[in-house]
Amino acid sequence: MGIHNSDDISAAAFVIKNPTIKFTKLFINGEFVDSISGKTFETKDPRTGDVITRVAEGDKEDVDLAVKAARQSFDHGPWPRLPGSARGRIMMKFADLVEENVEELAALETLDAGKLFSVNKARDIPHAASSLRYYAGAADKIHGEVLKMSRELHGYTLQEPIGVVGQIIPWNYPSVMFFLKVSPALAAGCTMIIKPAEQTPLTALYYAHLAKLAGIPDGVLNVVTGLGSNAGAAISSHMDIDAVSFTGSTEVGRKILQAAATSNLKVVSLELGGKSPLIIFEDADVDIAADLALFGALYNKGEICVASSRVYVQEGIYDEFVKKLVKKAKAWVVGDPFDPKVQQGPQVDKMQHEKVLSYIEHGKREGATLLTGGRSLGEKGYFIEPTIFSDVNEEMLIAKDEIFGPVMALAKFKTIEEAIKRANNTRYGLAAGIVTKDLNVANTVSRSIRAGTIWINCYFAFDNDIPFGGYKMSGFGKDYGLEALHKYLQVKSVVTPLYNTPWL
């Protein structure tokens, strides 16, 4: 198994692979500005390790400026006071602009994150635009209710925007996550400070530019690029931010929750790590199940919180499944993510590359059987072979920890009860998959696994309507669906006496 290289690079392809980097400064109060310190940091191409450009490094003082702009916009600006339909129209224009610039945005995402250009262009960027449209349609449907009271009182509720929100997004899905946070917050009437991951800042800055073109007022959407330990920490502990939404590791989620608790008790929602099981029963079509397992573990280089990194296969089909799975894994194409034939690009950076390789070495030392893969590929860049271990038990690190790379831990089981027990033997609870033709098995297992999303005979089946979030140490709060909109709203109760009756 080697790395795939394509020599067929047309002039058009060269332009796509080398987009002009237009936006590298902080975006605060409707303007691109240098950081107060003047510091910058490098963002690198994971295909080669080469520097793409330098980006402004925001710090606490820059976050303060962004929060001040967002607070001014929320307290005195038009955005929270616009009719929902007016906010929705501007958001629709924003979505149009995203789609009009899809090719350049897809190229930036590939260049910065190592994600497949074909997937960015056909799926991720259009999905970002669809998130805007979904919540734009909800913006004029935010309302409270009239309450049936037990006393001589008239009561009703209002749903109001929560205020200034901080949104900290990860590097594995820069565009999808940007709009997963921004879209419902905009619809609710909030103002915001977004901190993209330091590994992948480029598309967030481009989206800030498009927001300005769409007519989103100054101060509503601010982007502060920088390090998590500085800019991210400043957002989490800021006394004038009303809520924080974070997607990322459980370790960082703990720090954000602690910072919120020791500052102003801001509302926090966390979508954190996962170690999702995929349970394949012996009535499954083995070919389909092998494709689903491989896709679930290797999609987006395994850099996805719901990757099916633990695969449990019932003993009746286990041997046949393993043969087909390994054959398919060996045919999986790793290489330049701009090449349409490639199925897997490089890990996002050197640190992640080394982390994944270290877990592979742990698996070998702990006694798991390496069926295929396990090596770094290529002389440059951060490519890793699709890697499958068998004979894995729940005490091994490769079965317990979120690896966030193309590594699958495979095991067999006998009974439904055993499969449920092993699937739940994790500190995480983000997602799970079930492959079976038996409706009773599907219903039993889906109700028994403690996870926020259960996919039956499918995987990565996301949609704007489907709430997404975790159990246990995978966090709390939901993205997607109207539940995500409610994160950015708070309920106010209004009560008045009826008929001038004494209320005491």
Query: Which residues are designated catalytic?
Result: 271
User: What is the distance between the alpha carbons of residues 467 and 112, in angstroms, rounded to a whole number?
Assistant: 28
C-alpha distances in Å from residue 190, one per residue of 164, 220, 479: 6, 7, 16
Under 8 Å CB-to-CB from 369, ≥6 apart: which residues? 389, 390, 391
Amino acid at 454: I
User: What is the distance between the alpha carbons of residues 274 and 380, in angstroms, rounded to a whole number?
Assistant: 29
Which residues are bridge partners to 263 per DSSP?
A: none
Pairing of strands 453-456, 475-476: unpaired
Token couple for 448 = 């028994």
Run of H or E including 358: helix 350-365
Other Cβ atoms closer than 10 A to 495? 12
Listing DSSP states for 426-465 in one string gives: SSEESEEEEE-S-HHHHHHHHHHS--SEEEES-SS---TT
What is the CA 227 to chain-centroid distance, rounded?
18
DSSP state of 216: P
Which residues are bridge partners to 147 per DSSP?
A: 155
C-alpha distances in Å from residue 257, one per residue of 188, 266, 427, 467: 23, 9, 18, 22
Residue carrying the six token digits 């449907």: 141
Q: How many helices (H) and strands (E) does the chain have?
A: 17, 26
CA angle centred on 58, ends 57 and 62, rounded to 5° = 155
Main-chain phi, psi angles of 371, to 5 degrees: -85, -35
DSSP state of 316: G
Pairing of strands 277-280, 310-314: parallel
Residues comprising the chain, all counted: 504
Residue carrying the six token digits 């900290």: 168
Residue carrying the six token digits 């296969």: 313
Start-end of H helices in 27-115:
60-76, 84-100, 102-113
